[in-house]
Amino acid sequence: MMVESDNFPDKNRLSVLTATILLAYALTPHIDIPIRELEIQLPPAIFYFSFDFSALISLLVAALAAVGMNWLARGHPNFDKRNVIQHMLIPALTAWVIGIPLRMIEISWQWWIVFTFGGILLTLLLIAEYIVIDTTDINYSLASMGLIAVSYALFLFLLIAMRGAEMRLYLLLPAVSLVTGLVSLRTLFLRSNGRWCYSWSIGIAIIEGQICVGLHYLPLQPVPYGLLLLIPAYGLTSLVSNLEDERPIQKLWIEATIMTAILLVLAAVWSS
């Protein structure tokens, strides 16, 4: 039973956290540090890793968002430190993904639009994560749907960015598998009102990794590539959620089938 609730994150904590993250991104373009390359020789192959200052800032900001969400969640009357990690995943991923277009775009009105939109999105996500701490909150369903939608949108953007960056398979495969597993785990938790589905999430991540390997060497543009990888990630998670909810057989495939058809059409249209 859903009950009325006025649970809302502390405005001072929320504003400090958001402002600190955005300040880090606002200052980054004005700091110029040369790219460093690391070469690791492991016979019979040589692995190259590039490190630049803006990428490092994105990782640090992601860590800051995760820790900040922990700080924010501690003000909730139903805070449970045993489950706090789950609330840190999406804010960290969001803060990291926001940094990708900001690194690619020169300082201009487009950069400021992305910067502003990223700040608004991050703030709304932090509020939504705070709300879903209490599964009886009247706004839980709306907040959880928003978190799930944004999670997969960020996942798609990340896939497109990695494809555009022409990442090597040995870097791409663990990144895609890890993010798929985390997004699926979080989605299943939200859709099941608090049940952890570790085995299902690991299975989905493994399947996604195999598909990632298969698509890697095909001549696909970044957007169709991302859409084709999003299909199994979302479809399998939806199917598992319906199985866990013990829905009738005839209704298990409806959501996954509709979304698969839509994404396939989008991929085909973008490729044409």
State the pLDDT confidence band at 207, using cuts at 50, 70 and 90: very high
Per-residue DSSP letter, 40: E
Residue 6 has pLDDT above 60, yes or no: no
Q: What are phi and psi of 162, to 5 degrees?
A: -70, -40
Upstream peptide bond of 222 is cis (omega within 30 degrees of 0): no
Confidence of residue 98 (pLDDT cuts 50, 70, 90): confident
Helix 11-27 to helix 86-104 angle (10° resolution) is 30
Query: Count of CB atoms within 10 A of residue 23's CB?
Result: 11
Distance CA 217, CA 235 (A): 23
Tokens of 39: 């070469």
For 235-259, the pLDDT digits (tens) are 899 888 888 777 777 677 777 788 8
> In this predicted structure, what is the pLDDT of residue 96?
84
Task: State the Cα angle at 108 between 103 and 114, rounded to 5°.
Answer: 55
Q: Collapse the DSSP code of 77 into the 3-class scheme (helix H, G, I; strand E, B; otherwise coil) and give the result.
A: coil
Q: Which residue has the higher pLDDT, 37 or 28?
A: 28
C-alpha 138/C-alpha 128 separation (Å) is: 12
pLDDT at 1 over 50: no
